[in-house]
Amino acid sequence: MQTLLDCKKGCKVKVIKLTAPTELKQRLISFGIMKEATVEVLEHAPAKSTIEIKVGKMRIALRAQEASLIEVEKI
């Protein structure tokens, strides 16, 4: 299964499932990261420790660990 962590810089994907624990899932949802949402990967921090994504008009920073809990598919 492809996760957000596997995405290269500049690619656009659709979220299909959040596998995060409840609390983190709520947090992601409150940032607009939910099923069907379109996510664009903007930038990777050095060593890919953190990634910057764009959901709607909002830019969000995520740690690699959290990004791997977001299952996505290419659009």
Partner 1 sequence: MNRVDAKACPIIANHIKVALVGQPNVGKSMLINSVSNAHLHVGNFSGVTVDKKEVLFDYKEYHFTVVDLPGTYAFTDYTIEERVTHEYLCAEDYDIIINVIDATNLEKNLQLTSELLTMSKKVVIALNMSDEAEKEGIEIDADYMSELIGIPCIKVSAATKMGIEQLIDAVVAKHESTKNRPKLVFSEPVEEEIARIVWYLDKHKYDATNSYRNVAINLLKNNKKTYAKLHDEPIWTELQPILIEASEHIELHHNSDDIKEAFAEEYASFNRGIVAEVVTNKQLQEKKTLTEKIDAVLIHSLFGIPIFLFFMWSLFQLTFEIGAIPMEYIDAFFSWFGDTIGATIANDDIRSLVVDGVIGGVGAVVLFVPNIIILFIGIALLETTGYMSRVAFLLDGFFHKFGLHGQSFIPLVTGFGCSIPAYMSARILKNDRDRLLTLFIIGFMSCGARLPVYVLFAGAFFSADMAGNVLFIIYISGAIMGLIAAKVLKLTAFKGVDEPFVMEMPKYRLPTLKLIWHTVLGETMMYLKKAGTYIAAAAMLVWFLSNYPHNLALEKEYGNKIAVAATQEQKLSLQNSLDEALLEQSYLGTIGKFSEPLFSPLGFDWKMSVALQTGLAAKEVVVSTLGVLYALGSDVDEESSSLVNAIKQNIPFPSAIAFIVVIMIYLPCLAASVVFTREAGHIKYFFYLLFFTSVVAYVMAFIAYNITLHFF
For the chain, the DSSP string reads --BGGGPPTT-EEEEEEE-S-HHHHHHHHHTT--TT-EEEEEEE-GGGSEEEEEETTEEEEEEHHHHTTEEEEE-
Binding mask 5-34 for partner 1 (x = CB under 8 A): -------------x-x-xxxxxxxxxxx-x
HEC letters along 39-52:
EEEEEECHHHCEEE
Q: How far is the CB of 43 from partner 1 (least distance, A)?
A: 6
Q: How far is the CB of 49 from partner 1 (least distance, A)?
A: 3
Binding footprint of partner 1, residue count (CB under 8 A)? 37
68 binds partner 1 (CB under 8 A): no
Binding site for partner 1 (CB under 8 A): 18, 20, 22-32, 34-37, 42-47, 49-50, 52, 55-63, 65-66
